[in-house]
């Protein structure tokens, strides 16, 4: 009960927001370091995948919490599989268009 | 350190500074808004959340329609409760069976037209009830706590009305003088006040509609208080509006139907809410009358709740609301206090039920049709075999009733982000694709026992429940059963 109060308080979402921003900054730094351009569509792909992966985790947690272990297992397997396969595809898309020549320019900007 | 030393130019530094100030302002504003929302949050009214309308989280406005989603397809007639209400008919059947001889009217003509119902009524008396009694001795102990809990939940409630509308409904002071109605400031304000008070009295949902006389029984179901219950019931003029109130059954036992859930908890609360509302309206000087569960109605409640915008009727014949699914036990107050009425809603239940059929698959007695709708008194609806349904109730060892179709309905899920998002998706999707996808997921993710397992052992089952009971209803954990 007390745990749920934290999630309802807004503080949890504030922390989640910070974590998202750090994740985005991390991805940006990673891509820049390797000279991989990040046009808007790649951010959309990344965002969709993050949302889906987050949904999968929350689905499993909610199902377990409400006493539906079958839903948690089957949902976790189904959505988890989609998330893994989708994640592999998304990653290939994100790292596409690598231009080693850009590396020097982007690292110090 | 100079700009050139740090590798940043003045424009960038200024930008970062401005961004910092803007972030601080946005963060501060966000915290302020969060604080304001937290201060207003109905969830902070601990123990009184419902009375603050916290459950009305579904924005009905987007789904309002001009006409209710049931279809009127011909001349309509009012239901004859004496034979069409299964409880009334079964009661008369048992009385007349015990007294021997021929069935009296209207039962006699009804059975001539519906011999299959006579068979089912007989089956209950001659086979099902004796078998249940035999099994009760052997397996009944397990349900002791759930029965005790159910009895306790049903123990509080007002006395049933025992006088006809023209006597009961009109407010009088202690000396019996009629109370003059107060002057109200308009139907909109009155509706607002009535809804707030209904929630204050404990209602989870409230809706208001003009009463369609088609939903009033042609003969009184509630025999007490009517001088001659076999005289047709005229719909009183002062039953202009119907206010629908109600509450859900306790969620965890409800999922452990048919044995551990009970209608009594929500019935009892809905009775109390409706009675308080009747008293409040009468205090304002207007006539009011309750129509309350278990069987103290002069009208059929589900279609009135549909008219009042609370939900739609499912394949299983039960009202489906966006907030509580089918887990809603309504009561009605009829009155003529002028109020703004609500509009019916369409959240896609009609389309969803076409493919879903989970209730029909789960129903142990086969009472819910797999087929399409049929005409009933001028309206199209799914046929429910109430005699088969009641026969299963009578065979059940746990609490009175079954409610499995309520538990298994995909709409009957707790009000968390997951299930309420699913309701919003199906309501907003005109293609029907989400209906099919969600039905498939529902069947795969939320399986239950086979329908025949719900029966008592002497009828071939093993007293199964849809879900395990909550810890506090497991008799064997608290009571030494010897
Ligand atoms: S209450 Fe039980 S027996 Fe009756 S229709 Fe629903 S599932 Fe079937
Ligand atoms: S279980 Fe499915 S078919 Fe039955 S009422 Fe609920 S949504 Fe409709």
**B414: chain A residues, CB-CB within 8 Å:** 66
pLDDT at res. B235: 95
Reported residue count of chain B is 482
Q: What does the domain layout of chain B look like in residue ranges?
A: 83-149, 154-475
Token duo for residue A18: 């910070």
What pLDDT digit, counting tens, does each position of B104-113 carry?
999 999 999 9
For the whole model, what pTM was predicted?
Answer: 0.89
Higher local confidence (pLDDT), B98 or B51: B98
Residue B446 to residue A75, Cβ atoms within 8 A? no
Q: What does the domain layout of chain A look like in residue ranges?
A: 2-33+40-97
With pLDDT > 90 as the criterion, what percentage of chain A qualifies?
62
Per the listing, tokens 């609370």 go with B310
Q: Does the Cβ of B359 fall within 6 Å of ligand 2?
A: yes
Whether pLDDT at B6 is above 70? no
**Closest residue by Cα to residue B327 from B447, B408, B269:** B408
| Distance, C-alpha B434 to centroid of its chain | 25
Atom from ligand 1 closest to the CA of residue B258: 2
pLDDT at res. B148: 96
pLDDT band with cut points at 50, 70 and 90 for residue A101? low
Cβ burial of B443 (10 Å; 0-12, 13-18, 19+) is middle
Q: Which of A8, A9, A62 sits opposite B418 (nearest CB)?
A: A62
Q: Which residue of B has its CA nearest to A62?
A: B418
pLDDT at res. B24: 75
CA B411 to CA B322: how far, in whole Å? 7
In angstroms, what is the C-alpha Rg of chain A? 18
The residue nearest atom 8 of ligand 1, judged by CA position, is B363
Residue A75 to residue B441, Cβ atoms within 8 A? yes
Q: Could you please report the per-residue DSSP string of B421-435?
A: HHHHHHHH-SSSHHH
Mean pLDDT across chain A, nearest whole number?
86
Cβ burial of B425 (10 Å; 0-12, 13-18, 19+) is middle
User: Closest ligand to B387 CA?
Assistant: 1
3-class secondary structure, B173: coil
What pLDDT digit, counting tens, does each position of B209-258 carry?
999 999 999 988 766 667 777 788 899 999 999 999 999 999 999 999 99
Residues B303-331 have a mean pLDDT of: 96
Whether pLDDT at A105 is above 60? no
* Sign of CA pseudo-dihedral B111, B117, B121, B123: positive
CA A41 to CA A47: how far, in whole Å? 10
3-class secondary structure, B296: strand
Q: Does the Cβ of B368 fall within 6 Å of ligand 2?
A: no
Residue A70 Cα, gap to closest chain B Cα (Å): 6
DSSP annotation of B462 reads: -
CA B452 to CA B462: how far, in whole Å? 8
């Amino acid at each position: 009960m007390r745990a749920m109060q934290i999630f309802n308080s807004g503080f949890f979402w504030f922390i989640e927001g910070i974590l998202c921003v750090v994740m985005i900054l991390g991805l940006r730094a990673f891509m820049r370091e390797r000279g991989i351009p990040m046009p808007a569509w790649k951010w959309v792909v990344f965002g969709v995948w993050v949302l889906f992966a987050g949904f999968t985790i929350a689905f499993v947690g909610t199902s377990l919490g409400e006493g539906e272990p079958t839903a948690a297992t089957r949902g976790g397997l189904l959505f988890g599989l989609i998330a893994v396969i989708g994640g592999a595809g998304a990653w290939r898309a994100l790292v596409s268009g690598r231009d080693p020549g850009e590396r020097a320019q982007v690292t110090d900007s | 350190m100079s700009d050139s030393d740090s590798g940043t130019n003045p424009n960038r530094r200024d930008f970062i500074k401005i961004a910092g100030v803007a972030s601080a302002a946005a963060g501060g504003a966000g915290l302020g808004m969060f604080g304001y929302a937290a201060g207003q949050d109905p969830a902070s009214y601990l123990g009184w959340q419902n009375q603050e309308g916290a459950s009305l989280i579904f924005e009905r406005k987007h789904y309002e329609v001009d006409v209710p989603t049931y279809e009127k397809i011909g001349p309509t007639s009012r239901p004859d409760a004496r034979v069409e209400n299964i409880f009334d008919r079964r009661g008369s059947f048992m009385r007349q069976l015990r007294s021997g001889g021929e069935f009296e009217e209207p039962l006699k003509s009804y059975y001539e037209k519906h011999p299959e119902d006579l068979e089912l009524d007989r089956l209950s008396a001659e086979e099902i009830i004796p078998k249940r009694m035999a099994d009760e001795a052997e397996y009944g102990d397990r349900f002791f706590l759930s029965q005790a809990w159910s009895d306790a939940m049903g123990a509080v409630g007002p006395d049933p009305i025992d006088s006809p509308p023209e006597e009961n409904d009109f407010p009088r002071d202690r000396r019996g003088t009629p109370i003059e109605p107060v002057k109200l400031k308009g139907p909109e304000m009155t509706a607002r006040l009535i809804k707030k008070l209904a929630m204050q009295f404990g209602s989870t949902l409230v809706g208001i509609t003009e009463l369609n006389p088609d939903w009033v029984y042609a003969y009184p179901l509630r025999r007490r208080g009517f001088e001659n219950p076999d005289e047709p019931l005229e719909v009183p003029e002062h039953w202009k509006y119907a206010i629908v109130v109600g509450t859900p059954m306790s969620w965890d036992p409800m999922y452990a139907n048919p044995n551990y859930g009970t209608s009594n908890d929500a019935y009892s609360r809905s009775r109390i809410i409706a009675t308080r509302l009747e008293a409040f309206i009468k205090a304002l000087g207007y006539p009011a009358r309750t129509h309350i569960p278990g069987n103290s109605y002069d009208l059929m409640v589900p279609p009135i709740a549909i008219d009042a915008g609370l939900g739609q009727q499912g394949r299983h014949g039960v009202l489906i609301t966006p907030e509580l699914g089918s887990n809603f036990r309504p009561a009605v107050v009829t009155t003529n206090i002028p109020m703004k009425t609500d509009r019916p809603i369409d959240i896609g239940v009609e389309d969803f039920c076409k493919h879903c059929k989970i209730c029909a698959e789960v129903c142990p007695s086969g009472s819910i049709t797999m087929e399409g709708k049929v005409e009933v008194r001028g309206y199209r609806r799914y046929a429910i075999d109430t005699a088969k349904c009641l026969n299963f109730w009578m065979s059940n060892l746990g609490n009175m009733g079954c409610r499995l179709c309520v538990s298994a309905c995909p709409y009957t899920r707790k009000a968390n982000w997951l299930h309420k998002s699913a309701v919003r998706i199906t309501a907003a999707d005109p293609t029907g694709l989400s209906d099919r996808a969600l039905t498939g997921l529902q069947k795969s993710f939320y399986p239950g026992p086979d329908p025949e397992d719900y029966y008592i052992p002497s009828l071939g089952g093993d007293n199964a429940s849809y879900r395990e009971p909550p810890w506090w209803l497991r008799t064997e954990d608290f009571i030494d059963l010897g």
